[in-house]
Structure 1
Amino acid sequence: MVTVGVEEEYLLLDSATGLPTAECPRVQAVASALPSVRDGEVTPELLQAQIEIATPVCKTLEQVATELRRLRAAVRAAAAAVGCRVAATGAAPARGGTCTPVSEGERYARMRDRERRLVDEQLITGMHVHVGVPDRAAAVAVVTRLRPWLPVLAAMGANSPLWDGADTGYASWRTLLFGRWPVSGPPPAFTSEADYEDRVHALLRARLITDRGQLYWHARPSERYPTVEVRVLDVQPGPADAVLYAGLVRALVLRALADGREGVPLPQVSGELLAANTWWAARHGLSGSLCDPRDGRQRPAATVVAALVERTEHELARLGDLSVVEAGVDRLLLLGTPAQRQLQAYRAGGVPGVLDLITQDW
């Protein structure tokens, strides 16, 4: 069974104002002391108003769901003990007038000095899916084969329509904010592991990035684990939403590995088309059409989502995940993306209504 793991980032919000609050050190300390939490499962992120959880290596989607429920409950309980709330949203709906301090450590301090306002505005949170692969060369090849489908995942998982208390007009404002970093967005089409390393070494040698942790592509070979890491998704409202993408991403990676073994040519999609399609997905989510990766033409969003499921159907069935993913897609198309749900709450109750939605009990 091919392994899968999930990392999720959350925002910490003041219980009274709903604004980001720098309580990560205290929340992390309380959560890490709980008997249900193991070492290293709850960690800081760049800003002290963010916190991250990481599941153990999982073999089944049922296990992913169980671990996410456990860790989300721990962080929620710790935040309540400290006096703040945990928000599962891709971007802070409101920010206030002061900058959130960075977390402790030389690396984060260096980033604050170097990237300036990008760091100040990094009040965004994502979901990262790790899928086990045989080796580094396979990971690089998989990243290239995943490229055309990453905007579809971004559209499906959009969960950040608000910023500074207003509707941005985008389903995933996080995608736009994160895309401002020097090395971010859709990954290049790598021809080999050597090509990947040459490109990364060139960036490091030129001092355009400070370390490999700043390779913020939407998919990349992990530097810590023998996995491909897909990081295009906004953090999801609940475990059921997250499990859908853990299943889809794992199946996409398996399909890519199979294509490599069968000698299927690498997909030919230009960088400009992929970048524009990513913008389109962030702008519209599933509210209209999407560019179909199969031929580069616009089609109804539901049709393109169905094509993604069809592409991975064999792998999903082999893993026993098909019914879970199909149910998740049906729910998504019925209820709309998390961004659409946030906008419904915003129109009904303004920012307070959104805060109630994104901090509700998972």
Structure 2
Amino acid sequence: MKSSERRRKTISADSTLEFTPSKPLTVGIELELQLLDKENLNLTNGIGPLLKCYPRSPYIKPEFIQNTVEVISKVGENTAQVHAHLAHLVKEVRQTCLTLGMELCAAGTHPFDKELALFTPLPRYLRMEKDAGYLGHAQITFATQVHIGVQEAAEALYLMHAFKAYLPLLIALSASSPFWRGYDTGFASYRQRVLAATRSYGIPPSFNDWQHFMDFYNALQRAGMIQTINDIHWDIRVRPHWGTVEVRVMDAQPTLTESMQLASFIRVLAAYLLAHSETSIENMPHALPWWIEKDNCYMASRLGLEANCVVDKNGSFKSIYEIWQAVQAEIQSYAYSIGESRYFEQLIKRVAERNISYQRQRNVYQATHSCEKVVSVLINELEDDLACG
């Protein structure tokens, strides 16, 4: 096939994407969980046997690497509804894994596994393997992804832009990947550094309106850079067919409850931002020049809550913990008004106690000098959380 023909072939039906409205502030969550060998706690390429037990489930899916299972929630009116559904699913998946000689756990990276990943043999993933080369086999990371429903395309683009200022905060609150291939990386979220090497991850552009976004999207298709919207892996992206804004920057969380806390925060923040879309918001982060945004995210991945972030174009800075305190105080009333106070208050307490996963993992390692023990604790955290849910 000639190059021009190959490029024309990439322009698919969704080159004229239409935005499908959703009920405002509905929520959905996707969890990427690690499949482990029960004996040695290394990652294992177990998605094939696992999926044979769920041949038609819309909620249990493969990811591009075979050591991952993605568990997808129903759309919920609030986070509590999503939690109930995911708890049932993850309990069932965990029991199935045990019968197959696997364990289940969650974190942004596996603390000590050194094997390259195998791609799942599905057409899209095989195309990704061809495009990514070695990078794809080394991209062994796990995420929590949260979808927020919006009514129209303009709101989706506004939220995608407004959320950018909160990416460093979300990175710090979710950081759960301090270890990589047996080493303490010195980062709270080393997952961010792994993804930084890849082609389509990172901070999204901003768009003036839907036509501006469509012009950009169609240009990517004509250039053969993407085939569909699924090939764009920004930290925040619009999902037109679902009518959502998807926040993808967070590490996978060791427990379902922690994932729900993050989802609840995002939902509350979305409610606040949509209510103030026409006003200037004091004491809240704002979009900055791209290079500063990029460095803020780097520092958040490096130092977590202890990082300093630039907060204006003059170079003034605050710690992420200070930013968190200002943000949570400003938006807390919205947590009550949309029924999210339970998870939101849990998150406030956990941050105050410095009980973020990267901190707990380091505490375990400092006490035991064992990455294997870190994984054992991650397994137990998920098991105990499911038992309480």
Q: TM-score under structure 2 normalisation? A: 0.86
Counterpart in the other structure of 2:99 = 81
1:136 lines up with 2:153 in the alignment = yes
Question: Taking structure 1 as reference, are residues 5 and 171 closer, same or farther at Cα in structure 2, changes over 3 Å only?
Answer: same
Question: Taking structure 1 as reference, are residues 268 and 124 closer, same or farther at Cα in structure 2, changes over 3 Å only?
Answer: closer
Counterpart in the other structure of 1:286 = 305
Kept in 2: contact 1:182–1:208 (CA 8 A)? no
Kept in 1: contact 2:238–2:246 (CA 8 A)? yes
Counterpart in the other structure of 2:337 = 318
* Alpha-carbon distance in 2 for matches of 1:331, 1:27: 34
Counterpart in the other structure of 2:361 = 342
Deviation at 1:263, TM superposition (A): 5.2
Deviation by residue 1:265-288 (Cα, 9 ceiling, x = unmatched): 994411111111000100011134
Kept in 2: contact 1:140–1:193 (CA 8 A)? yes
Counterpart in the other structure of 1:355 = 375
Counterpart in the other structure of 1:14 = 37
* Alpha-carbon distance in 2 for matches of 1:154, 1:188: 18
* Alpha-carbon distance in 1 for matches of 2:290, 2:330: 22
Question: Taking structure 1 as reference, are residues 308 and 90 closer, same or farther at Cα in structure 2, changes over 3 Å only?
Answer: same
Q: Note the 1:102-117 alignment, pairs <5 A.
A: 102-117=119-134
Kept in 2: contact 1:248–1:312 (CA 8 A)? no
Letter in 1 for 2:338: L
Deviation at 1:178, TM superposition (A): 1.3
Kept in 1: contact 2:175–2:189 (CA 8 A)? yes
Kept in 1: contact 2:238–2:245 (CA 8 A)? yes
> Larger Rg: 1 or 2?
2
Counterpart in the other structure of 2:290 = 271
SS state at 2:353 partner = helix
SS state at 1:221 partner = strand
1:23 lines up with 2:41 in the alignment = no
Counterpart in the other structure of 2:350 = 331
Q: Note the 1:171-250 alignment, pairs <5 A.
A: 171-250=188-267
Deviation by residue 1:120-157 (Cα, 9 ceiling, x = unmatched): 01211100111110022211111011110111011110
Give 1:50's match in structure 2, choosing from 68, 89, 104: 68
Give 2:167's match in structure 1, choosing from 150, 167, 171: 150
Q: Note the 1:24-39 alignment, pairs <5 A.
A: 24-30=47-53, 32=54, 39=57
Deviation by residue 1:179-198 (Cα, 9 ceiling, x = unmatched): 22222211112221122222
Kept in 2: contact 1:182–1:209 (CA 8 A)? no
Letter in 1 for 2:112: A
Letter in 2 for 1:353: K
Counterpart in the other structure of 1:66 = 84
Counterpart in the other structure of 1:308 = 327
Q: Percent identity, aligned pairs only?
A: 27
Letter in 2 for 1:15: K
* Alpha-carbon distance in 2 for matches of 1:65, 1:123: 26
Question: Taking structure 1 as reference, are residues 62 and 268 closer, same or farther at Cα in structure 2, changes over 3 Å only?
Answer: closer
SS state at 1:285 partner = helix
SS state at 1:359 partner = helix
* Alpha-carbon distance in 2 for matches of 1:293, 1:52: 38
Deviation at 1:28, TM superposition (A): 2.5
Counterpart in the other structure of 1:40 = 58
* Alpha-carbon distance in 1 for matches of 2:111, 2:175: 14
Kept in 1: contact 2:164–2:287 (CA 8 A)? no
Letter in 2 for 1:48: Q
Kept in 2: contact 1:183–1:216 (CA 8 A)? yes
Letter in 2 for 1:285: G
Aligned pairs, number: 355
Deviation by residue 1:96-130 (Cα, 9 ceiling, x = unmatched): 34x33211211111111110112101211100111
Deviation by residue 1:145-178 (Cα, 9 ceiling, x = unmatched): 1110111011110001111111011111111111
Kept in 2: contact 1:47–1:100 (CA 8 A)? yes
**Structure 2: 5+ residue runs without aligned partners?**
1-23
Kept in 1: contact 2:299–2:308 (CA 8 A)? no
Kept in 2: contact 1:148–1:293 (CA 8 A)? no
Counterpart in the other structure of 1:299 = 318
* Alpha-carbon distance in 2 for matches of 1:6, 1:79: 21
Deviation by residue 1:201-227 (Cα, 9 ceiling, x = unmatched): 222222233432121111111144111
Which stretch shifts more, 204-213 or 129-138?
A: 204-213
* Alpha-carbon distance in 1 for matches of 2:73, 2:210: 28
Kept in 1: contact 2:63–2:70 (CA 8 A)? yes
Deviation at 1:93, TM superposition (A): 1.4
